[in-house]
Chain A
Amino acid sequence: MNILVCIKQVPDTTEIKIDPVTNTLIRDGVPSVLNPYDGYALESAARIKDNAPETRIVVLTMGPPQAEPALRECLSTAADRAYLLTDRAFGGSDTLATSYILSAAVKQVEELEGKFDMIFCGKQAIDGDTAQVGPELAEHLGLPQVTYALEVLEAAPEQLKLLRETEEGRQVVGVTYPCLATFTKPAFDLRFPSFRRRAAARQAEIVRLGAGDIPRIDLTRSGLKGSPTKVKRTFVPPRKQSGIIIKDDTAENAAAKLCEALRSARVI
């Protein structure tokens, strides 16, 4: 099996504070981390490799050279090879342009690494929170996609069986190869780096790809000019009010209270 995991380096949002005056995020001095959802995607790939040691895991990120530590973290935990997609021409890309560039890069990386059976992504990055790049990448590549995967149940020769999270509960889905899956938070984290891998990762070569290395890329679809998204305004979303919990001695009484609350809110 050949697995590509797409990752992103993001500011550690647990360290971000909000400027009380301007109501904007204070990013200065905030450490960067591997996007946690990408970590879950990588761990899911690593678990396939645990059972099938011949599996190869390649990681790919698009970003500035400062994104290298996130790639090295992947190498220190589970990845066999890392690619950094970096070029000024890619700067300012929205999700559509990003996913297009990634799709072009995937085809290029496949020429070096062989065809990927699976492409794993985090369901979203914790900075942008769009959850669009994974699904868009699948569309550009014409791959079947499974979103909100919790874990890989089985990577059988003919199909990948995934457990996915839905609004209502959980669902087991089978998908044929090649495919793309985006991962949400499971009951495990990305594994700890082993001492030996960590030492090797520090020395490992990270392959850089620029626009010039991807002959078939259409640069009009890249960067700011290739991005139809226009940011008109940014703001901190208002806090959602937490729900109310109705408790009573009996279900009847509780239901009556609920009806009353819905009526007074003019919902019914």
Chain B
Amino acid sequence: MADYNPITPEIIAELSKAVPGRVMVGDSVNPDYARDEMPIYGTRMPEVSIDVLSTEEVAAIVKICYENRIPVTTRGAGTGLVGGCTPICGGVVICTAKMNKILSYDLENFAVTVQPGVLLQQLAEDALTHGCLYPPDPGEKLATLGGNVATNASGMRGVKYGATRDYVKAMTVVLPTGEVTRFGATVSKTSSGYSLLNLMIGSEGTLGIITELTLKLIPAPKATISLIAPFAGLAECISTVPKFKMNHFDPQAIEFFEKEILISSEEYLGKQVFPRRVEGCQVGAYLLITFDGDSQDELEPVIERAAEMLLAEGALDVLVADTPPRLKSAWAARSSFLEGIEEQTKLLDECDVVVPVPRIPEYVVYVDELAKNYDFHVQYFGHAGDGNLHIYTCSNDMEREEFLRQVDSFMASVYQKAMELGGQISGEHGIGMGKVKYLAQAAGPINMALMQGIKQVFDPRMILNPGKVCRSLDC
């Protein structure tokens, strides 16, 4: 582990000179800055926190920390799920949440330039007023775009539109030395050396601090229709998923979930949205599918064909959400799964493995069988269309130590199986500090050494977000 220096009154004075009035020390640090949404991986209060407003401020702070070898952890809204922004070595937390301005639109290039603290929801709504769609659509709408890029988040629309990575054109970055640089450009393609831009995306604040982003937009689709397909059982529900692509459908989103998780979400929202029985038959699982296009008329034959396929595959019914209020209520229920679980669970851990889409049925069966061996309760749902599953281990009555012990064993098995099926450790949440050891097992020594080498080049003093991604604290 790198040897860090304590923060002395002199260093605090230096920081205060660089960012007057916003350097918080000790008890005045916001307690939220000790954690993200998954405190099970550990929490720690930083000695100092600073809400920054500009690239220059970030550069000045990082330079001071670099010179004094003080750890620096960047955070946005703190909605991560892998302990990515937890300042596990203490030091300074830089919060970019107040850098929340949408700076400019370049509609000729379908691009928008934002500060990193702009919320996903803020950009999504604002872009629509310009006739544009920002396609990445993670469930957590109150996450910052800086955090979305740092974790390469993706979400519901990933099936058709890909992940955040596909929508980052350029960024301004403060390097761990305090130097400021710019990666990428507002161009459609590039073949200009190593992609430093792509190295930054998904690097979870370990290589540099993003202080400005230029993001790609697309013309907003004029019509959107969702289909809700209830199935009696999970097996026939999940085995339908690969059929969409095989039948040349191009849905924007395909989500699957079981009734139990839907009920907890609907209880959280205080509103029942989806049918639990269809013509006397109990529903066990659902698919929620969205198609988009230029007009309702263009979509009608598509949804007709998709509905026929779903019914042929065993759907009990196919329901249609074709008006804005109906679309909103269908997706609100889906978007509140995590909140529903969090509200009802004392001890919680999660993983977000991704497997090749055709292997999802096999994987889900494995997880169901495996879960029977443990005392905690396992709930899962997922972006079925891109093979990304969110699996939650939940307990209200286990002792914490025993929970952690059992979760460790469970996770080792689910990751092992995901890798066997050709999958990856994380589809969109990242590695943070919660998954470092699983990444090491999955990536193997050669790839881990490459990642650690990259970290060394960017951050020779190891000050940026220590203990994350490819370097655990005992590295």
Contact = CB atoms under 8 A, between A and B. Distances in A.
Interface string A172-199: 0000000000000001110111111011
B318 A195 contact: yes
A192 B321 contact: yes
Contacts of B330: 192
B329 A195 contact: no
For the complex of A and B, the 6 pairs showing the least CB-CB separation, nearest first, are A192-B319, A195-B318, A195-B307, A188-B272, A194-B317, A193-B320
A204 interface: no
A195 B275 CA distance: 14
Interface of B: 227-228, 270-273, 275, 277, 303-304, 307, 311, 317-323, 325-326, 329-330
Contacts, number: 45
A33 interface: yes
A80 B277 CA distance: 20
Contacts of A50: 277
A199 B228 CA distance: 16
Contacts of A192: 228, 275, 319-321, 326, 330
7 contacts: A187-B270, A188-B271, A191-B319, A194-B317, A194-B320, A195-B317, A195-B319
A189 B270 CA distance: 11
Most-contacted residue by chain B among A50, A188, A194 (CB, 10 A):
A194
Interface in A1-38: 14, 33
A192 B330 CA distance: 9
Contacts of A189: 271, 273, 325-326, 329
B228 A187 contact: no
A188 B267 CA distance: 11
A228 B292 CA distance: 50
Nearest to B278: A194
Contacts of B271: 187-189
Interface in A245-259: none
Most-contacted residue by chain A among B271, B273, B325, B330 (CB, 10 A):
B325
Contacts of B227: 195
Contact of A191 (B275, B303, B304, B311): B275
B319 A199 contact: no
Nearest to B316: A194
A198 B228 CA distance: 14
A24 B303 CA distance: 40
Given A188-B273, A195-B320, 4 more contacts: A192-B320, A194-B319, A198-B322, A199-B304
B340 to A, nearest CB: 15
Contacts of B318: 194-196
Contacts of A194: 317-320
Most-contacted residue by chain B among A187, A188, A192, A198 (CB, 10 A):
A192
Contacts of B228: 192
A189 B228 CA distance: 15
Contacts of B303: 195
A14 to B, nearest CB: 8
Nearest to A34: B323
A191 B275 CA distance: 8
Given A189-B271, A189-B273, A192-B228, A198 B320 contact: yes
A105 to B, nearest CB: 28
A33 B272 contact: no
A199 B320 CA distance: 11
Contacts of B272: 187-188
B45 to A, nearest CB: 28
A189 B325 CA distance: 10
Interface in A35-55: 50
Contacts of B321: 192
A239 to B, nearest CB: 24
Contacts of A196: 317-318
B324 to A, nearest CB: 8
Nearest to B307: A195
A33 B320 contact: no
Most-contacted residue by chain B among A14, A33, A188, A198 (CB, 10 A):
A198
A191 B278 CA distance: 12
A198 B307 CA distance: 12
A154 B372 CA distance: 40
A187 B329 CA distance: 12
A33 B326 CA distance: 12
Nearest to B226: A192
A195 B308 CA distance: 9
Contacts of B317: 194-196
Contacts of A188: 271-273
B275 to A, nearest CB: 7
Interface string A41-77: 0000000001000000000000000000000000000
B327 to A, nearest CB: 10
A192 B328 CA distance: 12
A14 B324 CA distance: 11
A27 B84 CA distance: 49
